[in-house]
Amino acid sequence: MPNPKTVTVTFDVAKAIKETKGGKVEFRVDKAGIVHCGIGKMNFDATKLAENAHAIINAVIKAKPAAAKGKYVKRITLTSTMGPGIPIDLAESEILAAAA
């Protein structure tokens, strides 16, 4: 449902469109700590999907609260809406996040 907190309802439409086209990354976290976020559509090429995935991983790692101790991201799995999950190498994603 539309919600002002998630900026799906706004009076400043031009600003919302500019932020979205500028690469604004939004993700949700459920009670179990699972991050849900779309990274693209079927018609995106592989490089665009990879760029979007790296941007989301970097955003999640940067969003780590200062009070959080230990390993913040334990596992990454990429999946389509109704498909099987594909595990992503966490060490490789941490190296890419550090390089960005």
Share of the chain above pLDDT 90, in %: 3
Contact 19, 25 (CB under 8 A): no
Q: How many CB atoms lie within 10 A of CB 34?
A: 10
Across the strands, what pairs with 5?
Answer: none
Encode pLDDT of 51-88 as tens digits.
Answer: 888 888 888 888 888 888 888 888 888 888 888 998 98
pLDDT (mean) for 8-18: 80
Mean pLDDT in residue range 25-35: 80
Looking at the chain, the whole-number percentage of residues with pLDDT higher than 70 is: 85
Neighbour count for residue 58 (Cβ, 10 Å)? 17
What's the chain's length in residues? 100
The pTM for the full model equals 0.67
What pairs with residue 81 in β-bridges? none
User: Helix, strand or coil for residue 36?
Assistant: strand
